[in-house]
Amino acid sequence: AQRVTQPEKLLSVFKGAPVELKCNYSYSGSPELFWYVQYSRQRLQLLLRHISRESIKGFTADLNKGETSFHLKKPFAQEEDSAMYYCALHGSSNTGKLIFGQGTTLQVKP
Amino acid sequence: EAGVTQSPTHLIKTRGQQATLRCSPISGHTSVYWYQQALGLGLQFLLWYDEGEERNRGNFPPRFSGRQFPNYSSELNVNALELEDSALYLCASSRTGTDTQYFGPGTRLTVL
């Protein structure tokens, strides 16, 4: 079965500390993985797509097929990073659907 | 470039009624998706429309239906509303069925 797991509901760090938001997936083929972010009172927006290998707002994520993980990292957290983060899997071709994890709330304290 | 738009922002209905939610995709996008975000259940895929046709549906009963118009906008209809249909309904669009999905602000449906 295709599944995305984000084990932490809440991650609380201090400003300037490193951040790692965990994401594990279950998928037998070649996955396409995304991180979406939802800031307070804003819409869900794309943060990263693994095939683009970009760094957005200082965040990076590497696909590890051996560990079936796609963890999101940032070396120095900022208060404005506080938001809900969702990992999503675009699985089998021609289904159209994204499979989302349950989300992790990142709280960056001053 | 305008993003995905949805209307109405909020919708209050009573049990047994029908609800209609609307979505306009980003210009140039032909695929529209609907997701339900219910409390405690996360984001669940509902429907995918592309070029006017329903391409896939999630694990929801048939009273959840919709359509896509020639201008690629879409409607989601929920018949015989139940209390557990109360949720945020998100619409997304993409250029093709395999491209990145961009989300609208959602419609909050409350069933009393």
The whole-number pLDDT of residue A56 equals: 82
> Could B43 and A46 be called an inter-chain contact, meaning their C-beta atoms sit closer than 8 Å?
no
Which chain A positions have a beta carbon within 8 Å of B42's beta carbon?
100-103
Query: Which chain B residues are within 8 Å of A96, Cβ to Cβ?
Result: 31, 33, 45, 48, 50, 55-56, 97
Contact A97 B56 (CB under 8 A): yes
Rounded distance between C-alpha atoms, residue A44 and residue A26, angstroms: 23
Residue A5 has pLDDT above 80, yes or no: yes
Q: What is the pLDDT of residues B42-80, one digit of tens each?
A: 899 999 999 999 999 999 999 999 999 999 999 999 999
For residue A93, what pLDDT is reported?
66
The CA distances from residue A77 to A18, A25, A44, B5, B31, in Å, are 6, 25, 20, 31, 35
Q: How far is A98 from chain B (nearest CA, A)?
A: 7
Residue A19: per-residue pLDDT: 97
Average pLDDT for A53-62: 85
Q: Report the distance separating Cα B49 and Cα B8, nearest Å.
A: 20
Q: Which residue of B has its CA nearest to A31?
A: B98
Give the tens place of pLDDT for each residue, A77-97. 999 999 999 999 987 767 889
- Distance, in Å, from the CA atom of B110 to the CA atom of B83, rounded to the nearest integer, reads 8
Measure in Å the smallest separation between the Cα of B9 and chain A Cα atoms. Answer: 12
Mean pLDDT of chain A: 92
